[in-house]
């Protein structure tokens, strides 16, 4: 029997949270590689907040996904056919393979994975874009220095959990902001954060005053909205506010909130900078080797939250991000599919 390639295609442009109607489950023939091409059997799909933004037909740092197209996704898998000189059958690889079981690729942006270092899913987390985002966001954009007080929102997620650990490895005092007591306890007890604030239960402003009496030197923001506005009131002189993302606003149906307290940038002589990790592509090898070394030494904990399922589980798995159900990097593992 010839296997079928199950795919998730974008069917609609959501207002607010995506609904099942925004997706269609398609079937395609198993692709055949032409000269210079390879075919990958996808094993792990990266589930990212940015996917929500890619569904919008607006100007961004990357083109929106077209209606009817296979949903864009980073993924890992195994090469099952190759006419590409750089890749052989059996190679484990990562790349932008999309939400589908088999991907045809010309090798662009495809990386070989060293599974002796870490399992495939870690290449979508600590050793993938989330890890790289934390690394360059803190060290380059945030110009983090030893002794800084670093606050991180979305702290128990893929990017935030790595960011906090990198800040600790650089001798900083780290305050995480996350939803729920369990996540906060995990940040302090397992990842070594100095303090954690449960934004769903605590008074964030009062807790920040308690944990960072002299203010925050670097704020690494994954969340935006009210949390951004509140931390802006606690900036130390010369603070750097790093805008990594604003997940609290990704499903907003009216104008996004947050950053109304921007005059605090004047008071604190602070800066606020947005960034896109792709701009550091030339330096990815440097960051991956630093992250891999910390991982190998046991100084960095890789935490993935794996949903075992099939392609058809993608729509609901994506919503877990907006419900705050993941701890660490959310990954859909396709072990049920084949
Ligand atoms: N700039 C770049 O190049 C770049 C690259 C990668 C990712 N990003 C951004 O980085 C951020 C984190 O991405 P990730 O992959 O690491 O996702 P993640 O943090 O693993 O998952 C999303 C988390 O966001 C929190 N959240 C959801 N809705 C929220 C709300 N309304 N208010 C506050 N928190 C909310 C939830 O945690 P709680 O339980 O704590 O609420 C959830 O677990 C996103 O904003 C993403 O767009 C940027």
Q: What does pLDDT average to over the chain?
A: 97
Q: What is the pLDDT of residue 258?
A: 80
Q: What is the pLDDT of residue 16?
A: 96
Q: What is the pLDDT of residue 335?
A: 80
Say how far apart CA 113 and CA 311 lie, in whole Å.
Answer: 22
Q: What is the pLDDT of residue 259?
A: 85
Q: Name the residue among 191, 140, 198 with its Cα closest to residue 165.
A: 191
How far, in Å, is the centroid of ligand 1 from the Cα of 326?
A: 10
Taking only the tens place, the pLDDT of each residue in 282-310 is: 999 999 999 999 999 999 999 999 999 99
pTM of the model: 0.97
Of the chain, the end-to-end C-alpha distance in Å amounts to: 13
91 contacts 78 by C-beta, under 8 angstroms: yes
93 pLDDT band, cuts 50/70/90, is very high
How far, in Å, is the centroid of ligand 1 from the Cα of 223?
A: 6
Does the beta carbon of 128 lie inside 6 Å of ligand 1? no
Over 60: is that where the pLDDT of 51 sits?
A: yes
Does the beta carbon of 164 lie inside 6 Å of ligand 1? no
Q: What is the pLDDT of residue 308?
A: 97
- What is the pLDDT averaged over residues 63-87? 98
How far, in Å, is the centroid of ligand 1 from the Cα of 31?
A: 34
* For the chain, percent of residues with pLDDT exceeding 90: 96
Q: What's the CA angle centered on 318, arms 73 and 151, to 5 degrees?
A: 95
Does the beta carbon of 248 lie inside 6 Å of ligand 1? yes
- What is the pLDDT averaged over residues 85-101? 98
Over 50: is that where the pLDDT of 27 sits?
A: yes
Q: What is the pLDDT of residue 143?
A: 98
Over 90: is that where the pLDDT of 2 sits?
A: no
Q: Name the residue among 329, 288, 303, 244 with its Cα closest to residue 132.
A: 288
Find residue 235's DSSP bridge partners. Answer: 216
Does the beta carbon of 275 lie inside 6 Å of ligand 1? yes
Over 80: is that where the pLDDT of 338 sits?
A: no
107 pLDDT band, cuts 50/70/90, is very high
- What is the pLDDT averaged over residues 246-268? 93
Say how far apart CA 118 and CA 28 lie, in whole Å.
Answer: 32
Please tell me what DSSP assigns to residue 329.
E
1 pLDDT band, cuts 50/70/90, is low
How far, in Å, is the centroid of ligand 1 from the Cα of 222?
A: 5
- What is the pLDDT averaged over residues 70-81? 98
33 contacts 89 by C-beta, under 8 angstroms: no
336 pLDDT band, cuts 50/70/90, is low
How far, in Å, is the centroid of ligand 1 from the Cα of 247?
A: 5
DSSP percent split of the chain into helix, strand, coil, nearest 5 = 30, 25, 45
Does the beta carbon of 77 lie inside 6 Å of ligand 1? no
- What is the pLDDT averaged over residues 37-63? 96
Taking only the tens place, the pLDDT of each residue in 139-176 is: 999 999 999 999 999 999 999 999 999 999 999 999 99
Say how far apart CA 78 and CA 130 lie, in whole Å.
Answer: 21
Over 50: is that where the pLDDT of 337 sits?
A: no
Does the beta carbon of 162 lie inside 6 Å of ligand 1? no
How far, in Å, is the centroid of ligand 1 from the Cα of 179?
A: 11
């Amino acid at each position: 029997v010839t296997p079928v390639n199950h795919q998730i295609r974008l069917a609609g442009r959501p207002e607010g949270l995506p609904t099942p109607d925004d997706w269609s489950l398609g079937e395609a023939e198993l692709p055949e590689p032409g000269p210079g091409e390879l075919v990958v059997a996808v094993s792990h799909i990266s589930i990212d907040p940015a996917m929500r933004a890619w569904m919008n037909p607006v100007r961004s740092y990357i083109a929106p996904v077209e209606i009817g197209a296979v949903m864009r996704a980073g993924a890992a898998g195994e090469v099952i056919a190759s006419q590409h000189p750089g890749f052989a059958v059996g190679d484990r690889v990562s790349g932008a393979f999309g939400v589908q079981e088999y991907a045809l690729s010309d090798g662009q942006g495809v990386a070989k994975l060293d599974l002796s270092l870490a399992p495939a899913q870690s290449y979508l987390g600590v050793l993938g874009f989330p890890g790289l985002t934390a690394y360059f966001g803190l060290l380059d954009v945030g110009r983090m220095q030893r002794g800084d007080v670093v606050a991180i929102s979305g702290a128990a997620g893929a990017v935030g959990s790595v960011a906090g650990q990198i800040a600790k490895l650089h001798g900083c005092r780290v305050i995480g902001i996350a939803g729920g007591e369990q996540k906060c306890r995990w940040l302090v007890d397992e990842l070594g954060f100095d303090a954690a604030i449960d934004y769903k239960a605590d008074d964030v402003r009062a807790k920040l005053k308690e944990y960072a009496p002299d203010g925050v030197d670097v704020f690494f923001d994954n969340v935006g909205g009210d949390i951004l506005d509140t931390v802006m009131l606690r900036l130390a002189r010369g603070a750097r506010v790093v805008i990594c993302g604003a997940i609290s606003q990704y499903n907003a149906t009216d104008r996004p909130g947050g950053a109304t307290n921007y005059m605090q940038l004047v008071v604190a002589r602070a800066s606020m900078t947005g960034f896109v990790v792709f701009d550091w592509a030339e330096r990815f090898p440097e960051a991956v080797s630093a992250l891999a070394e910390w991982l190998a030494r046991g100084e960095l904990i890789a935490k993935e939250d794996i949903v075992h399922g099939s392609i058809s589980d993608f729509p609901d798995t994506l919503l877990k991000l907006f419900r705050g159900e993941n701890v660490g990097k959310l990954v859909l593992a396709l072990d049920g599919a084949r």
